[in-house]
């Protein structure tokens, strides 16, 4: 059994716990599948007896981060706050599943430095044309019409992650395969990263 998976004594043999719990940071273009994967991952973790919470960029921007836009400063502040919440939850034993575009390496480095060794970055990747074809929220269409300024992939940049723990290509696998890849990467990874503090 991998080091990060330990069976608690008082649980059925089929139930496992991720120790220490990770912060699963899902980064990628709009429409790549971050929210879909986060929603599928959460019940799977819970079924294993692991407390898991989702922090979805769209939801956080409606409440806690309402008022933040998409300037460089606001994107930084958005990520800084989400990373701190993830860390707080994580320090109290929860798996935090973060689904947020986090388009720049500097933003992901910030998140990594705040979260610490539990940070487990997953690049949820699909080519721009695939994301644009999916366009689940109609955002690409609006961005192409010029109705949304600074839309990542259209009028703002997305830097591919330099050192993700895992890249999942959602253009070549279904949601359940993507989730299985993430579970496998968690089970095989001891969080021993050097911090960028
Ligand atoms: N393997 C896959 N994993 C995830 N989603 C997939 C996959 N294959 C197809 N899809 C579809 O792609 C779309 C992804 O939309 P989703 O809202 O999850 O993207 P997102 O990355 O959260 O975007 P945003 O940054 O705008 O919130 C959904 O319609 C989903 O059904
Ligand atoms: Mg989403």
Mind listing the pLDDT tens digit for each residue in 85-131? 999 999 999 999 999 999 999 999 999 999 999 999 999 999 999 99
| Domains observed in the chain | 19-187 (3.40.50.300)
Tokens standing for 90?
Answer: 């994580």
Q: Which of 30, 102, 118, 185 is catalytic?
A: 102
What's the pTM value of the predicted model, to 2 decimals?
Answer: 0.89
For the CA of 58, the closest atom of ligand 1 is: 27
> Cis link prior to 20 (omega < 30° from 0)?
yes
Tokens standing for 84?
Answer: 């701190």
Distance (Å, rounded) from C-alpha 66 to C-alpha 123? Answer: 25
CA of 6 relative to ligand 2 center, distance in Å: 31
CB 131 within 8 A of CB 31: yes
**Of 25, 31, 169, best ligand 1 pocket probe by most atoms within 8 Å of the beta carbon:** 31
Distance (Å, rounded) from C-alpha 185 to C-alpha 81? Answer: 26
CA of 2 relative to ligand 1 center, distance in Å: 30
* pLDDT higher at 194 or 103: 103
Mind listing the pLDDT tens digit for each residue in 42-53? 999 999 889 999
For the CA of 152, the closest atom of ligand 1 is: 25
Nearest to 109 by CA among 33, 162, 165: 162
Q: How confident is the model at residue 11 (pLDDT cuts 50, 70, 90)?
A: very low
Mind listing the pLDDT tens digit for each residue in 125-179? 999 999 999 999 999 999 999 999 999 999 999 999 999 999 999 999 999 999 9
């Amino acid at each position: 059994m991998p080091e990060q998976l330990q069976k608690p004594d008082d649980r059925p043999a089929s139930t496992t716990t991720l120790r220490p719990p990770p912060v699963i940071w899902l980064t990628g273009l709009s429409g790549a599948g971050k929210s879909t994967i986060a929603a599928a991952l959460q019940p799977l973790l819970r079924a294993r007896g692991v407390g898991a919470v989702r922090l979805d960029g769209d939801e956080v921007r409606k409440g806690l981060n309402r008022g933040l836009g998409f300037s460089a400063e606001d994107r930084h502040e958005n990520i800084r706050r989400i990373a701190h919440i993830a860390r707080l939850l994580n320090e109290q034993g929860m798996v935090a599943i973060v689904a947020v575009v986090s388009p720049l390496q500097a933003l992901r480095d910030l998140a990594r430095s705040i979260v610490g060794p539990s940070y487990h970055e997953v690049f949820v990747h699909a080519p721009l044309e695939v994301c644009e074809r999916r366009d689940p929220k109609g955002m690409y269409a609006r961005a192409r019409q010029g109705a949304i300024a600074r839309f990542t992939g259209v009028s703002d940049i997305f830097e591919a992650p330099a050192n993700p723990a895992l890249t999942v290509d959602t253009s070549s696998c279904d949601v359940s395969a993507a989730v299985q890849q993430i579970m496998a990467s968690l089970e095989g990874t001891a969080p021993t990263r050097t911090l960028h503090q």
